[in-house]
Chains A and B, each alone.
Chain A
């Protein structure tokens, strides 16, 4: 019995859970806004719309209960060497549609920087990653192959967008 359990464990533990992802961005802008949810100071708030194309169906083997997808923006600022902000996430349970073809999708979370690091930022990288939730076992975190880098404009946008 223990041997059988162990074999079951081995049958999925070496999976890389890797898939290709195509990402893109549409309109990108940045504003300076007071963040009342946090320090109540003026900070850079980015706005982007994004495209996402991925087929994650092959990731579902017998020991996958759920995928947690998240779209990360990673960038460097003067004050912080590494910033990662999740802009969008999605829970995909077994049996749900795991094919994504989003065009000009809005982000789910606000893109607040810690301070003023977004205006004119020359390299913001979008990646899609997933956390595989098994029926029982390890909880691997995988970054999809394929990323997209974009640039924030050098000026704040006034008005609503």
Chain B
């Protein structure tokens, strides 16, 4: 079966002339660059360095489960207030955390200290912060959750858990784009 597929695939490539081959390669590059453009464009529109995040833990259940997708904005003029779901980064940790703001103390000059907690956790996040860190500040925030789509992010979780699956998907997509003819 796989031999047959292989033959088909090679046959397809052999039947293309050079011009067509270049065209398909360029087409592939076009898709990659427009995906990049969309991502970068979203970064500009939302003001967040990562406008879409996948929920990786159960600490916000039952609101968000593993694999749910969140759309973020991070406009500086929107104030951070209690009850908001923020995505923040902690020094020394790669993975951003999605939790809810529990208390804020804001000075007249706008400098803000706030504390977060996961809905499903029984204690606040001071244990998660860097050693000695008691409060988060605006600079720690990656974005605030604005939109919610369930389950969609499970694909990326699968891809991270099983790298072979990721390469398989990428290879299939790549081959499809290269040999697909309108």
**Interfacial residues, chain A to chain B (CB-CB below 8 A):** 37-39, 65-66, 68, 70, 72, 79-86, 89, 91, 93, 109, 114, 129, 131, 133-139, 141
For the A-B complex, the count of residue pairs with Cβ-Cβ distances under 8 Å equals 75
Report if A139-B148 is in contact (Cβ < 8 Å); known contacts: A66-B63, A70-B82: yes
Distance between B110 CB and nearest chain A CB, rounded to angstroms: 9
Of the candidates B85, B105, B106, B148, the one whose C-beta lies within 8 Å of that of A134 is B148
Would A85 and B85 count as touching, CB distance under 8 A? no
Q: In the complex, what residues of A have CB within 8 A of residue B62's CB?
A: 65-66, 91, 93
- Whole-angstrom CA separation of A134 from B162 in the bound complex: 30
**Closest beta carbon of chain A to B99's beta carbon, Å:** 12
Q: Which residues in B have their C-beta under 8 angstroms from that of A138? A: 146-148
- The residues of B with any CB-CB pair to A shorter than 8 Å are 62-64, 81-85, 100, 102-108, 113, 119, 126, 134, 145-150
Q: Quick one: which of B81, B83, B108, B146 contacts A68, CB cutoff 8 A?
A: B83
Chain B residue with minimal CB distance to A39? Answer: B134
Dominant SS at the A interface? strand
Query: Do A68 and B107 touch (CB < 8 A)?
Result: no
Between A72, A83, A84, the greatest number of chain B beta carbons within 10 A of the residue's beta carbon is seen for A84
A139 and B81 contacting across the interface, CB-CB below 8 Å: no
CB neighbours (8 Å) of B105 from chain A are 80, 82-83, 114
How far, in angstroms, from A136 to B108 measured CA to CA in the complex? 37
The residue on A at minimum CB distance from B61 is A91
Using Cβ atoms and an 8 Å threshold, which residues of chain A touch B63?
A: 65-66, 68, 91, 133
Cα A137 to Cα B63 with chains together (Å) = 13
Query: A72 with B148: in contact, given A80-B105, A85-B103 (CB under 8 Å)?
Result: no
Closest Cβ–Cβ distance, residue B102 to chain A (whole Å)? 5
